[in-house]
Every structure is written in C-alpha cells, then in structure tokens.
C-alpha cells in the first residue's frame, strides 16, 4: 500500500490555504490502500474491532441531521453509521494519517512535534444518509487552549455532488468563528452571509484529498446514489495545544510526527 506525494510546494500551499481555506491536494491514495481502507471501514461498522473502543454515531432513521441520537455508541452491525472516531487506534487508518504525504502537507504549517486531535470516518450510506449543515470545526465546544486549523480529508469512494460531496465557502475562515461555541452555524447567521449564493461544490474521486481549514464554512448534502460515500479526515495539532476540560481528565493527544 502506498500514498502518492502531494503536488504542492509549501509556499504555494500556504498561500492558497490562507486565501481560500480549502485546497485540492489531488490524488494521494492508491487503489490498493483504498481497497484496504474500505474493507476495514465495513468491518469496523460490523463490530469486528471491539478491542479498539471506537466512538460510533448511527445515522438518523428519517435521514435528517436534527434527528440524530447522541450517546448511543455502537448499536449493532450496520453500514449506516454516519461517524466513527478514534480511528488512530486502527493500524490501517493509522498508516494513512501518518504517511509521509500527510506529513508533507502538515509540515507546511506546523513545525516540531505534531499531535492528532481526531481521526474520523464520515460515512454516507447509499440511498439513506443525513446531510451535515454549515459548520466550523472549532470553538469552545472543542475544549482546547488553541484553535486547530489543519485537517486533511480523503475520499475513500467517489464523492460526486449527488453523493453528498464536500461543500464550502472560500475565505470564510478568515472571519473567525461565527459563534464562540463553534460547530453548527445558526441559520440566521448563514442567511445574513448569503451562504447559499456563495457555496462551492468540491466533488472528489476516490483517493483524492482536500486540505480544509477548521474554520472555513463547510457542509455536505445527503447521498442520493445507491453507493456508499465515505470520507476520512485527520485533524492535526501543534504540540503546544492542550485540552481544557475539567469534568473529566483532560485528553492526551497522540504524537504522529516527531
């Protein structure tokens, strides 16, 4: 299994990222690794890796984001889990998020030791999946002393518009957080920003990657095809970033690049 190198030099990558908040990285993952990742995704959702203690969230029954159930975790074998987290514990996904091609991208922005905030599979089952509304990946909800901003999203399947590809509004990261809490952007804020007129679609072929700023406004629609649409994202942190939560022991983030 291998990952291709990214066809961007550090200076041009920083320039495009600072301007747009989202950058196409091109094809990064080869067919052999894609097959392994897809097979592992299906196995994980069948419940074949209980020893990893992964985080699961199943899709809603009615295909709407507002009906998603929180805190249920694994509810039995299903290919309709919309999100699986903590995949840095899995050797196949770990091999992708620590590959030199990812490090090449991350090193354009972070010097020294690099930690991982999260490694997540976002799954849209064929014919039945909920959309993800406009949101930003940051804010007090994330509970960090410094806002993360570097994440690499990789299509494990073809992700055309009709399958719920990534949608974004270029440049919105430069305005900071829409709310201090972060996460979902309120409807009235999106309306004032004229978001629907500014949206851009980022369809991707299997194996292609996007560099996404955590604060750029992004979303995805439902999957209207008969095939799964799976994407994997890894969010990276500078070593100085720490967890601020008080009710439980602060999270310790794994080292991925030393």
Per-residue pLDDT reduced to its tens digit, 71-99: 788 999 999 999 999 999 999 999 999 98
What value does the mean pLDDT of the chain take? 93
Q: Please tell me the predicted confidence (pLDDT) of residue 2.
A: 45
Task: Indicate whether 6 pLDDT > 70.
Answer: no
Residue 238 in this model has a pLDDT that exceeds 90: yes
- ∠ at Cα 115 (111, 121), nearest 5°? 125
Residues 6+ apart with CB under 8 A from 178: 136, 185, 186, 189, 217
Between the alpha carbon of residue 214 and those of residues 135, 177, 210, 219, 237, the distances in Å are 9, 10, 12, 12, 11
Q: Measured between alpha carbons, how far is residue 252 from residues 55, 86, 118, 144, 177 in Å?
A: 16, 13, 11, 11, 25
* pLDDT recorded at residue 7: 65
**pTM given for the model:** 0.94
Residue with tokens 């849209």: 124
Phi, psi of 105 (to 5 degrees): -70, -50
Cβ 153 vs Cβ 3: under 8 Å:
no
pLDDT of residue 68: 73
* C-beta atoms surrounding 126 within 10 Å: 16
Return the half-sphere exposure (C-beta side, CA atoms, 13 A cut-off) of residue 49: 22
User: Which pair of structure tokens corresponds to residue 68?
Assistant: 């998603």
Model confidence pLDDT, tens digit, residues 180-198: 999 999 999 999 999 999 9
Q: What is the mean pLDDT of residues 165-179?
A: 97
Which tokens go with 47?
Answer: 């419940």
The answer to whether the CB of 202 falls within 8 A of the CB of 166 is yes
Domains in the chain: ranges and CATH: 10-60+70-257 (2.60.120.620)
User: Which 8-state DSSP code applies to residue 199?
Assistant: -
pLDDT at 67 over 80: no
Distance CA 22, CA 30 (A): 22
The DSSP bridge partners found for residue 121 are 84, 232
For residue 168, report the phi and psi dihedrals to the nearest 5 degrees.
-150, 165
* pLDDT, mean of residues 45-70: 86
Q: Would you say residue 164 has pLDDT above 80?
A: yes
Does residue 28 surpass a pLDDT of 80? Answer: yes
pLDDT of residue 245: 87
Edge-first strand order for the sheet with 217-220 is 183-184, 132-136, 217-220, 166-169, 200-202
Q: Tell me the average pLDDT across 38-46.
A: 97
């Amino acid at each position: 299994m291998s990952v291709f190198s990214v066809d961007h030099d550090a200076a041009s990558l920083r320039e495009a990222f600072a301007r747009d908040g989202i950058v196409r990285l091109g094809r990064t993952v080869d067919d052999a690794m894609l097959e392994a990742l897809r097979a592992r995704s299906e196995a994980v959702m069948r419940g074949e890796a209980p020893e990893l203690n992964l985080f699961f969230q199943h899709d809603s029954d009615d295909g709407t984001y507002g009906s998603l159930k929180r805190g249920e975790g694994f509810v039995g074998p299903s290919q309709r889990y919309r999100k699986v987290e903590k995949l840095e514990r899995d050797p196949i996904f770990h091999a992708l998020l620590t590959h030199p091609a990812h490090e090449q991208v991350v090193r354009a922005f972070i010097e020294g030791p690099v930690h991982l905030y999260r490694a997540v599979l976002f799954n849209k089952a064929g014919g039945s999946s909920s959309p993800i509304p406009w949101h930003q990946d940051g804010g007090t909800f994330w509970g960090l002393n410094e806002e993360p901003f570097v994440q690499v999203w990789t299509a494990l399947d073809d992700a055309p518009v009709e399958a719920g590809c990534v949608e974004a509004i270029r440049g919105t990261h430069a305005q900071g957080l829409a709310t201090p809490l972060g996460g979902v952007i309120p409807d009235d804020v999106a309306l004032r920003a004229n978001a629907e007129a500014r949206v851009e679609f980022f369809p991707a072929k299997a194996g292609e990657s996007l560099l996404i700023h955590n604060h750029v406004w992004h979303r995805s629609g439902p999957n209207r095809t008969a095939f799964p649409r799976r994407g994997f994202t890894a969010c990276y942190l500078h070593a100085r970033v720490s967890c601020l939560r008080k009710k439980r022991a602060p999270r310790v983030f794994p080292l991925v690049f030393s």
